[in-house]
Amino acid sequence: MIPEGFLFSAINADINGSSSEKEDLGLIYCKHPAFVSGAFTKNLVKAAPVIIGIDLVKKGAIRAIVANSGNANACTGDAGLTDAFMIMKCVASELGVGQQEVIPLSTGVIGVRLPAEKIIKKIAPLVEGLSPDALRFARSIMTTDTYPKICSEKAGRAKVLGIAKGSGMIAPDMACLAGRQATTLAVVLTDAKVDRQLLDIITENATEASFNAISVDGDTSTNDTLLVLTSNMIDADIADIKDAITNVIRELAMMVVRDGEGATKVASIMVKGTKTDQDAKKVAMCIANSLLVKTALFGADPNWGRIMAAIGRSGVKIDPNIISIKMGGLSVVDKGLEAKDFDEDSIRNVLSVHHWRSGPSARGGLKEILIEITLGDGPGRFKAWTTDLTYKYVEINSSYRT
């Protein structure tokens, strides 16, 4: 379900030199200038494409996105910026648009120069290959992802399409138009007529409750980027389009966390009862990032003490004596103590549920472990998602580069 006004392409450019035949260079072309909003990593070590992207998004309208996997173009200094500019220039020239209308995206290993000449040689055939096939683009940005991440939603006659990659170095912390870096790349395309400022607000709100609420390993990347583009071709109800964009962004974030490196389980961590949403977020992310919680999840170990310890060290002022915890709807902790009806076997069953490793079409039918934490009667609330920490995670990350 492709929104009006966009075309896609992908090609193999052997960017990481492994001679793999996987497509690793992708292109999105906007037939007319598209409004763009963006959220970028808050990491102070920003990849070249992030530095460039932050600048271009401010200008507000673009014509193309050129993306590569296999190399992050991060920690590459001025040479990295020059490489990106050369590629943007070549794409612009082939498409007949301005260089400042082409946004680069990169993901992969840090600290290695992008093979710009290799890439440039492939740009003419890349442009020739433009078609409505968005899935090929989605595949071209995959790294350790086990499946391409793509989803869509309708808002009246208007369409919203989302494409993402990401499975490791996942703890996105993106600020809209303020620079964030990540191994999470996400592009959302719509044809709905949306005011530029409104698009910024929708993007910002949707990011906070989705990509900024997931954690695989707590490591915020140097390349994280979310771009939201609209071709402004179809009239649509603004509330509907807001919901559709929000849903698509959230679904992409869920696809990323489900595909977390080595993950076999996904847990949602709902924290409520704090003074502010920000407090709830701090507690939720502290639990989501706890190695002891993540390994207990892997072992289906009803070790609620690890959750209590994470709550206590989150930096939020809490009263341990009013904490309550439920897992899968069952009471585990009540007023800071083990609940009277705590049943270890039942909770072990709750924690034994594996999520279904979904392909691109797998909305629904997915299982997540519900962990609910109440810290008082305040209005603050936040929901985070995390994965278990497995042998496979260690395997993947102790041999990524080599």
What residues numbered 289-348 form the site for a second copy, per CB under 8 A? 289-292, 295-296, 298-299, 301-306, 308-313, 317-318, 320-321, 323, 333, 335-338
- 76, 183, 274, 387: the catalytic one is 183
With binding defined as CB under 8 A, does residue 81 bind a second copy?
no
Contact with a second copy (CB under 8 A) among 107, 181, 230, 231: 181
CA–CA separation, 164 vs 182, rounded Å?
12
Binding mask 254-293 for a second copy (x = CB under 8 A): -----------------------------------xxxx-
With binding defined as CB under 8 A, does residue 393 bind a second copy?
yes
Q: How many residues does the chain have?
A: 402
With binding defined as CB under 8 A, does residue 53 bind a second copy?
no
With binding defined as CB under 8 A, does residue 77 bind a second copy?
yes
Q: Please say if 207 is a catalytic residue.
A: no
Handedness of CA 77, 79, 85, 87 (dihedral sign): negative
Identify each DSSP E strand in 275-376 by its residue range.
324-327, 330-334, 337-338, 369-374
Nearer to a second copy, 85 or 400 (CB): 400
Q: Least distance to a second copy from the beta carbon of 399, Å?
A: 5
Q: Least distance to a second copy from the beta carbon of 338, Å?
A: 5
Q: Least distance to a second copy from the beta carbon of 27, Å?
A: 26
With binding defined as CB under 8 A, does residue 218 bind a second copy?
yes
> Strand, helix or coil at 255?
helix
What residues numbered 16-45 form the site for a second copy, per CB under 8 A? 42-45
Nearer to a second copy, 15 or 30 (CB): 15
CA–CA separation, 165 vs 142, rounded Å?
6
Handedness of CA 171, 173, 174, 179 (dihedral sign): negative
CA–CA separation, 180 vs 147, rounded Å?
24
Long-range contact set of residues 365-368: C-beta below 8 Å, sequence gap at least 24: 366/254, 366/258, 366/266, 367/266, 368/266, 368/267, 368/268
Nearer to a second copy, 66 or 283 (CB): 283
Please enumerate in sequence order all residues whose Cβ is within 8 A of that of 304, keeping only pairs 6 or more positions apart, or say none: 325, 327, 332, 333, 338
Contact with a second copy (CB under 8 A) among 83, 173, 251, 279: 173
CA–CA separation, 281 vs 286, rounded Å?
8
Nearer to a second copy, 273 or 302 (CB): 302
With binding defined as CB under 8 A, does residue 85 bind a second copy?
no
The phi and psi torsions of 40 (rounded to 5 degrees) equal -130, 155
CA–CA separation, 290 vs 309, rounded Å?
10
Q: Least distance to a second copy from the beta carbon of 376, Å?
A: 13
Closest alpha carbon to 254 in 385, 388, 392:
385
Residues belonging to the active site: 183
Q: For binding to a second copy (CB under 8 A), which residues are involved?
A: 42-46, 72, 74-77, 109-112, 168-169, 173, 181, 217-222, 289-292, 295-296, 298-299, 301-306, 308-313, 317-318, 320-321, 323, 333, 335-338, 389-391, 393-395, 397-402
